[in-house]
Structure 1
Amino acid sequence: MIHKDDPNAATEALKRKQGRTRPEFLNQNTLDRVAHGHAKDLIELGAQSAIPIKRVRPQNELTTREVSQVLREVILGRRIMAKVGEQTWDEVYACHFLVDIEGWRITIYNDCDELDYCEQAVSPDEQRWDFDPGARTDPIALLSMWEHQTLERLLKAL
């Protein structure tokens, strides 16, 4: 709290705060784990207060852009994609099609022989991205028209 009669109080309080040292066990990784582990509780508390709290992304959650980049690397020939299972793209016709991209397991929806959207992605270190019907986009939607067509051709060739 700043006292009106002491104009230097804020400066002195800042200096005291900056002079404090954080205990070693409260390093940034520990604080991040606590925040991620209690994200739901923190969001609920924030909703009850006047201060808005931004959604905390769990540590094991991939972004749409990260998954899209993996698909882009397949399109550009930098990564190898293989189908998981016996059925070809044509045989599933209107269903989910699972591919492996160097340890990434990505499920793509085949809508009547057309590449539609990405349902799920799991990275080699078990980070996940899951389709959210309420979200504005998915990894496939971030691809250019050429990338989309190329990926569809590659899937049909598996």
Structure 2
Amino acid sequence: MPALTPREVYQQLRDAALGIRALQPLAPCSTRGQVHVDIEGWQLLLDFEGHRLHHCEHCRHPDGREGSLDTWQRYGTDPVSLLSTWELAQIERLLLGIMQR
């Protein structure tokens, strides 16, 4: 099974930023600055610390395919770096809402 590409994961983050897909917490927020979220079946582990989304550590597609920061570095990017400034701000706003629950 092929690994998820940064662009595939970026599309999920983009859709969440636009309000097309729902971003929901999967587990209590970690004190290590990581948050585990679900975007309509896609499970993402995000590095979110200091009110800033730094990168996506890992993603699992509903069909079982996965991608991780180690894999994406071979492509020279991670999904978060593909977000526009506005999209990034929207995702950070959503994540802040999760952290404050």
Task: State how far apart, in whole Å, the 2-side matches of 1:64 and 1:134 are.
Answer: 9
Note the aligned Cα RMSD (angstroms): 1.7
- Residue 80 of structure 2 corresponds to 140
CA contact (8 A) 2:51 2:92 kept: no
Aligned AA (2:83): L
Q: Which has the higher contact order (CA 8 A, sep 6+)?
A: 2
1:83 aligns with 2:25: yes
User: How many corresponding residue pairs?
Assistant: 96
TM-score under structure 2 length normalisation:
0.85
| Structure whose residues are more often strand by fraction | 2
1:130 aligns with 2:84: no
- Residue 50 of structure 2 corresponds to 112
- Bigger Rg, which one: 1
- Residue 63 of structure 1 corresponds to 5
Aligned AA (1:128): E
Name stretches of at least 5 consecutive residues in structure 2 with no aligned partner.
none
CA contact (8 A) 1:60 1:126 kept: no
- Residue 96 of structure 1 corresponds to 34
Task: State how far apart, in whole Å, the 2-side matches of 1:106 and 1:130 are.
Answer: 10
Task: State how far apart, in whole Å, the 2-side matches of 1:134 and 1:74 are.
Answer: 23
Structure 1 SS opposite 2:3: coil
Name stretches of at least 5 consecutive residues in structure 1 with no aligned partner.
1-58
TM-score under structure 1 length normalisation:
0.56
CA contact (8 A) 1:61 1:128 kept: yes
Structure 1 SS opposite 2:95: helix
- Residue 89 of structure 2 corresponds to 149
